[in-house]
Amino acid sequence: MLQLRDAAFAGISMTQQGDLSDRNPADVYWEVVQDALADAGLSLAEVDGLIGDAPPGVGLRSGLPGGAVADLVGHPLRFHAATSIGASGQSAGIGLAALAIAHGMASVVAIPTVAAGQVAGYAGADRNAAVAHMARLGSPYEYVWGTTRVADYAVIARRHMYEYGTTEEQLAEVAVAQRHGATLNPLSVNGRRGEITIDDVMGSRPIAEPLKLLDCCLVNQGAGCMVMTSAADAGAQARHHPVVLLGWGEGQSYLDPCSAPSLARFEGGRLAADTAFGIAGVGRDDIDVAGISDHSTINVIVELEASGFCAVGEGGRFVEGQATRIGGRLPVNTDGGFLSASHAGSCGVFTVIELVRQLRGEAGPRQVEGASLAYAHGVGGVSQVQYGAVLARA
């Protein structure tokens, strides 16, 4: 079987998350790419692969991002790919990058994301414009009624509560656990707002019932980048303890919410996780820390179930026992996650970056002691498509 462990997360970088509306997005993109390369001990001259987009505004053929980056680095790239995991497009790209590296098709692959500048849509700093833009990402059979992204997840929460008895207090615990991590993360948006309690979440204003303001992810700008290389190359640099990708999988399960087999459980997520764990050759009980995409608090509960960390329907009770807090049985989104750290651009990149920090042992005051195996889970759209990944401290 293919040994994905030949591919490593050699470099990571991220900007302060929040409002980057005064920055040029192309400049921010190039900054985080170079910072991630510097973190890996590499230079632009060594980049030969790209996942995702070119810097915004560089060239007018946006369908050829590899060409745009080749212009900038001064040599042709050997590899470009993009995934169709929606919002998790870049972070799910770690699997494709690892395949290319393991097969000798690329040696240094950059995986950047940026949301900055005065731009329209979800990458802008104008919250109202971003909310209106994201509302129209669904089909006309949704947006004409005034649905929103939060409403899309609220109907999942409502159905989950109905089928399994999940409570609003259990949802709130997800937000409380993650805010603590954010207070220990100086790059997070919400850390400076301090700790929150279950009562704070329950008392925050309703957005789309049963979800309240503190059940919802941020709308913010920011940028980050990962650089993947062969494990041998990463080890040779020895700037950080090497972190490798052990397993990766996808689950592409349905297109439209009207045709979803269920809005309470997600078979695609299970497929992604089973594939990733199967390739990795480790079990759920071996995982020390997880990054679970959290567009709202219900996401963490349904994705923990889909990933197999608890039975379907048990997610609420799993988090209620404070399992996902730092020091708990399975710390989740220790940086604060999309709820409290950042939800910028293809924000799954930040989920994986935090796991790399944890596995390096560089997570500072929020370090999970002895973290050696991590699991990342991300969704695209409104959970139609999902990916899972197992990372390891080499």
Partner 1 sequence: MTDYDKFTPEIPPLHEPFWAALREHRVVLQRCDRCGRFRFIPSELCTCGSAQYTWTPIAGTGEVYTYTVVHRAPTPAYQADAPYVIAHVTMDEGPRMISTLVGSDPAAVTIGMRVEIIFDDVTPDLTLYRFRPVETAPATVAQDD
Q: How far is the CB of 19 from partner 1 (least distance, A)?
A: 20
Number of residues that bind partner 1 (CB under 8 A): 34
Following DSSP, what letter does each residue of 134-146 receive, concatenated?
HHTTS-HHHHTTT
Name the residue nearer to partner 1 (CB basis): 162 or 192.
Answer: 162
Name the residue nearer to partner 1 (CB basis): 104 or 261.
Answer: 261
Identify residues 92-131 at the interface with partner 1 (CB under 8 A): 131
Residues 257-296, one symbol each (x = binds partner 1 by CB under 8 A, - = not), give xxx---x---------------------------------
With CB under 8 A as the contact rule, which of the stretches 251-259, 284-292, 309-317, 359-367 interacts with partner 1?
Answer: 251-259
Q: From the CA atom positions of the chain, what is the Rg in Å?
A: 19
Q: Does 246 interact with partner 1 (rule: CB under 8 A)?
A: no
- In terms of Cα–Cα distance, which of 66, 392, 105 is closest to 248? 392
With CB under 8 A as the contact rule, which of the stretches 30-38, 168-176, 192-200, 256-264 interacts with partner 1?
Answer: 256-264
Name the residue nearer to partner 1 (CB basis): 180 or 212.
Answer: 212
Name the residue nearer to partner 1 (CB basis): 187 or 302.
Answer: 302
3-state secondary structure (DSSP) of residue 186: coil
Identify residues 129-158 at the interface with partner 1 (CB under 8 A): 131-132, 135-136, 139-148, 150-151, 154-156, 158
Identify residues 205-234 at the interface with partner 1 (CB under 8 A): 205-211
3-state secondary structure (DSSP) of residue 24: coil
Cα 194 to Cα 179: distance, rounded to the nearest angstrom: 7
Cβ-in-10-Å burial (0-12, 13-18, 19+) of 211 comes to: buried
Name the residue nearer to partner 1 (CB basis): 2 or 144.
Answer: 144
Name the residue nearer to partner 1 (CB basis): 64 or 120.
Answer: 120
- DSSP letter at 247? E
Contacts of the segment 321-330: beta carbons below 8 A, 24+ positions apart: 322/173, 322/177, 324/173, 324/174, 324/177, 324/178, 324/290, 324/300, 325/177, 325/180, 326/177, 326/180, 326/181, 326/184, 326/366, 326/368, 328/177, 330/287, 330/289, 330/290, 330/304
Among 19, 71, 256, 362, indicate the residue that binds partner 1 (CB under 8 A).
256
Interface residues toward partner 1, by CB under 8 A = 131-132, 135-136, 139-148, 150-151, 154-156, 158-159, 162, 205-211, 256-259, 263
